[in-house]
Chains A and B, each alone.
Chain A
Amino acid sequence: MRLTRRRFGALALAGSATFLLSACGQSGSSPAGKTGGGTGGGGSVTFVTSLAEDERAAIGELLKGFESSAGVQVKMVQMESQDVVNQLKAKKTANKMDIDLVAQDNLRLGPLVRDQLVDDLSGEVSRVPDSTIDALVPITEFNGKRFFFPYRPNVQIVYYNETKMSQYGLKPPESWDDLLKVSQTIKEKEGIGKVAIQAAAGDPLSVSVFEFIKQAGGDPLVLNDAGSVKAFEFLAQLEPLMTPEYRTAKFDTMNTMLSTDTAYLGSNWPFGINVIVDKNGRKDIKAYHGWAGPTKESHVLGGEVLGIPAGAPNKAGALQLAEYLMAKDTQSQLLTKLGWPPMRTDAFGNVPEWQAPYFQAVQAALKQVDARPNVPYWEDVSRAMNDAFRDVVQSKQPAKETLDRYAAAIQKAKAAAGA
């Protein structure tokens, strides 16, 4: 078919008409996640959160209760935690902040405070319930000031392939020695390692290394103390016994690895339950709280906290919503509907039956948590842990000398940060 002038003109006209009819002006008339009108005229609150589709539906239902009682409309917006910092930065610089409340991953709080993107909430401490889990409080504070409210604690659990473990007469490892034995046995039987830790460069690896260091009684902010050296030496022993895919293991790929039998044992956040067991149909994948090191059992305290961006247009509404989300009834409903562990000790509920064993694993792991320290040079510490892993665990360089080098780099970063 020749592209004659007439046809070309018709195509251009059709395209322009489509564009003119659809494009011009604000397209915010039907924003995603609008939960409906409230009964009063209390304005609206834009609430940024990062949820899976089924979680959004449940949270949307909960927020209707808030809208009815507070007369404040809630516009729920989906945004990944790694995009929150850039969005807030752009909006703050442009002086066009239109976000009122953010539920942010508590592993990504430093930049929000450092770049003054969130308000100081020290004057609003009274809104935080007294029954809040103690371990959650330090992560909301930076330099003695409270910048966030606790919202949702989270912790990684260890998933394992029950069929394969039973086949080889193995039990989920409870100690480092057990972990080595299980890894060794599986590798001998299968000819290839099937145990994984999350070792994708960046946050996933930092979390894994942090946990091992704490389990050995070390301090990640020092990195060359006895516990840290022990942790790295152990990881160097474990590394050849793991699946080669461990290098790419993080929150999403670990689900696939466990579902496709690339790994028979690996840790991940509880959202993996819905993906691995429910969506991928792997009901033989179970979970437990994990293993202990020579000193103790330790898991990084993850989850989300609530922050109010600097310049939020409806700070009063945001504070009301935050208080609602921390309320006992709300936390109980989150537990019942989504299996989310509550942030307060007095919230109770029944999780869906099929989730119960996994929830027990989460509850057990939450008893052994360590929060990452809120220091301004945390990115340097994370980078040092990543590089040390590469050098000691993968390249088999001597642990003590290598860690001495990275410890010095951390001290330098600490001095530069004025900490």
Chain B
Amino acid sequence: MSTQAVTQQPRTGAATRVRTDAHASRLALRIGFVALAVLFAVMTVLPLLVLIKVSFSAPQDIMTARPPFLLYNATLDHWRAILNADTVLGPARHSLVVATGTALFAVLIAAPAAYVISRMSRGWRYGLILALLFTQMFPDVGIAMPVAITFLRLGLNDTDLGLILAHLVPTLPFVAWILVGTFETIPREIEEASFVDGNGKIGTLARVVVPLAAPGIAVAALFAWLKSWNDLVYAIYLFLGERTLPLMTFYYSNRGSVFDTATFAVLLTIPVMLVTLALQRYVEAGTLSGAIKG
């Protein structure tokens, strides 16, 4: 046995123990992370699964002290009961049009404003961002009445346009806040390079800035769409003869059975899932934090 071999042996044992310990700790962390992820996923998905299950269950499977976890006696009766033109199609159309209109208008109005704010000096920028955030402190319930009175005077009640404008009141500042952060991440040097290439201001905005900001704009549009889709307060005040889907869900939860409520809730969730799935790939880490970066 050589000296080298003798001196190497203790180092190999210690190094192996260190590598083994590091490997075990990484494995433990990974297992812990996966377990937590599974737990949060289940907690998130389970209520939706219960809703879906109730909407397809026969009454005897739900109206009991210990309802089964699985679906045994499936029925389409609850869906048949609510899927008619008056109950669903009309309100769904209103909700879809209003949510889409709100998202479009919010982006069209807030994007230019956000771009300008993002290019201001730091002091002005922070002041304006704080002003935008300050408006979020007012709950919709508190300002819905004066908004409703004004809109009634303008004849905007029972119109999709009126509801869109009402939804823009809380949505615009929020969308602007998100987009400020988006535009801040686009270096000015890129715009200057575009000027050098012969583009004017508008051309630079259209061909360089907006495409780069497109993911952030998609995220802002998604938030605006979701906020408008879920609104109940302004719909109650501004829609007398018409309905939106959340309003129908509210009325059914007051007057109908749990089956009607669950069915409506699932119906309300489907477009949200579709829109979120379509746009969620554009949600990047840091999209929302840009506005508060130093």
Contacts and interface: CB of A to CB of B under 8 A. Distances in A.
Interface of A: 1, 3-5, 8, 12, 15-16, 18-19, 22-28, 30-33, 46, 50-53, 75, 77-80, 83, 86-87, 89-91, 93-96, 98-99, 252, 255-256, 259-262, 271, 275, 279-282
Given A15-B103, A30-B90, 13 more contacts: A5-B214, A8-B214, A18-B100, A22-B97, A22-B160, A27-B158, A28-B158, A28-B159, A28-B241, A46-B240, A94-B148, A252-B253, A252-B255
Contacts of B290: none
Interface stretch (B4-12, B149-157, B169-177): B149-157
Contacts of A26: 158-159
Contacts of A260: 62-65, 67
B242 to A, nearest CB: 6
A79 B236 CA distance: 9
A277 B127 CA distance: 60
B101 A28 contact: no
A52 B257 CA distance: 10
A261 to B, nearest CB: 4
B145 interface: yes
Interface string B272-291: 00000000011000000000
Contacts of B256: 52-53, 275, 279
Interface of B: 58-60, 62-65, 67, 86-87, 90, 93-94, 96-98, 100-101, 103-104, 145, 148-150, 152-153, 155, 157-161, 164, 207, 210-211, 214-215, 217-218, 236-237, 240-243, 250-251, 253-260, 281-282
Contact of A83 (B60, B157, B236): B236
Given A16-B104, A31-B242, A95 B97 contact: no
Nearest to A256: B258
A94 B64 CA distance: 50
Contacts of B150: 94
Given A23-B164, A77-B240, A279 B148 contact: no
A161 to B, nearest CB: 11
A280 B59 contact: yes
A108 B63 CA distance: 32
A3 B98 CA distance: 24
A5 B212 CA distance: 9
Q: Which one of A1, A91, A94, A95 has the highest number of Cβ atoms from chain B below 10 Å of its Cβ? A: A94
Given A19-B101, A32-B90, A280 B242 contact: no
B240 A98 contact: yes
Contacts of A93: 149
A89 B255 contact: no
Nearest to A48: B240
Contact of A3 (B104, B148, B218): B218
Contact of B152 (A5, A19, A50, A96): A96
Instruction: Describe B's contact surface by its main secondary structure.
Output: helix
Given A26-B159, A252-B254, A261-B65, A15 B152 contact: no
29 contacts: A1-B281, A3-B282, A16-B104, A19-B100, A19-B104, A23-B98, A25-B159, A25-B161, A30-B90, A32-B90, A46-B241, A83-B236, A86-B237, A89-B145, A90-B237, A91-B152, A94-B150, A96-B157, A99-B240, A260-B62, A260-B64, A260-B67, A261-B65, A262-B65, A275-B257, A279-B257, A280-B258, A281-B59, A282-B63
Given A252-B253, A260-B64, A279-B256, A95 B153 contact: yes
A260 B207 CA distance: 61
Nearest to A93: B149
Contact of B259 (A27, A28, A271, A279): A279
A83 B145 CA distance: 12
A318 B119 CA distance: 60
B63 A52 contact: no
Nearest to A51: B255
A22 B86 CA distance: 17
Contact of A90 (B100, B148, B158, B218): B148
B190 to A, nearest CB: 15
Q: Which one of B104, B145, B241, B281 has the highest number of Cβ atoms from chain A below 10 Å of its Cβ? A: B241
A4 B217 CA distance: 13
Contacts of B86: 32
Nearest to B148: A90
Contact of B160 (A3, A5, A27): A27
A75 B152 contact: no
A258 to B, nearest CB: 9
A262 B258 CA distance: 15
A96 B155 CA distance: 8
Contacts of A279: 59, 256-257, 259-260
Contacts of B211: 4-5, 8
B162 to A, nearest CB: 9
A275 B94 CA distance: 28
Contact of B241 (A18, A31, A89, A262): A31
Contacts of A15: 100, 103-104
Nearest to A52: B255
